[in-house]
């Protein structure tokens, strides 16, 4: 991940683990995150997912089907 960040000229970013979860040694600037966002939005699948305003899904829990909805607005 650090090699990819360097190739993308993300000079104020450092990953200390492969998953990017909270760690005091992980850091990035807003400018680098903006670069990463522009790069990520070139992926149509990802762009479609994050562009959803609402997502509905169903889950079986204790032999009952439960409906859920996630809204981003």
**Distance (Å, whole) CA 45 – CA 16:** 27
Q: Radius of gyration (Cα) for the chain, nearest Å?
A: 17
**Is the distance from CB of 27 to CB of 53 less than 8 angstroms?**
no
What average pLDDT does the chain have?
91
Q: Token match 């889950």: residue?
A: 59
**Is the distance from CB of 13 to CB of 28 less than 8 angstroms?**
yes
- Would you place residue 35 in the very low, low, confident or very high pLDDT band (cuts 50, 70, 90)? very high
Domain spans of the chain?
Answer: 2-71
pLDDT at 20 over 80: no
pLDDT digits 0-9 by tens, 36-67: 999 999 999 999 988 899 999 999 988 899 99
> pTM of this prediction?
0.66
């Amino acid at each position: 991940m650090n090699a990819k960040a360097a190739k993308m000229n993300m000079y104020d970013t450092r990953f200390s683990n492969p998953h990017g979860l909270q760690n005091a040694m992980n850091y990035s600037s807003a400018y680098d995150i903006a670069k990463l966002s522009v790069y990520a939005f070139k992926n149509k699948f990802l762009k479609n997912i994050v562009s959803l305003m609402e997502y509905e899904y169903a889950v079986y829990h204790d032999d009952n089907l439960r409906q859920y909805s996630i809204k981003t607005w």
